[in-house]
Chain A
């Protein structure tokens, strides 16, 4: 089925370890996003890529880096994981940025940093 695929689904890291969350979409969407979901906080935007070759910071970018590898793939990297980065991470894509265009989300990565 067409959609957004995230890997891994679960991950446990030790403080200071690094890892990359992978995301790929097969809908030929231009824009891609990384969100984190925390209890009582809703979904907060970490980084986004309006189109291939561009990336921009969202609300909570500190401690993260991203790469828009090509039109399909948008990865999120934690260089030195901290317990505050324990969260559920969602990747999403849309045909265009903003407006009434709904996002298609992946199923999420549950990350625990101990």
Chain B
């Protein structure tokens, strides 16, 4: 049973437009949510996180929105750039003892010039 789901395997966006990557989770015990970016032949890189006490966190071109009632979060990239083309992993974790970070399957973003 996948606790963190990224239902879109891939997304294609024109340069300069907005990219929206979606993620759903099932476990209400999660209280931190993170996004990672991965280029081919490299390890994932931490991008941005949000605590469950917030509904929005912004860092430059990247904004993460959290809807706790829907158990849904999204990553917005505005404006999208060709260098943003990568695989994006959504992840969720909790602070309770023994809890681990669970990753989604990833969404491959293509930003066309």
Contacts and interface: CB of A to CB of B under 8 A. Distances in A.
Interface residues of A, number: 25
A99 B95 contact: yes
Contact of B105 (A40, A58, A98, A104): A40
B43 A45 contact: no
Interface string A73-114: 000000000000000001010000111101111111000000
Contact of A98 (B44, B51, B99): B99
B43 A108 contact: yes
A2 interface: no
A107 B94 contact: no
A53 interface: no
Given A43-B44, A90-B44, A108-B43, A103 B101 contact: yes
Contacts of B95: 98-99
Contacts of B50: 100
B84 to A, nearest CB: 18
Contacts of A100: 32, 34, 49-51, 93
Contacts of A97: 100
Interface of A: 4, 35, 40-45, 48, 56, 58-59, 90, 92, 97-100, 102-108
Interface of B: 4, 6, 9, 32, 34, 36, 41-46, 49-51, 89, 91, 93-95, 98-106
Q: Which 5 residue pairs of A and B lie closest in terms of their CB atoms, listed nearest first?
A: A102-B46, A105-B43, A43-B103, A42-B105, A100-B49
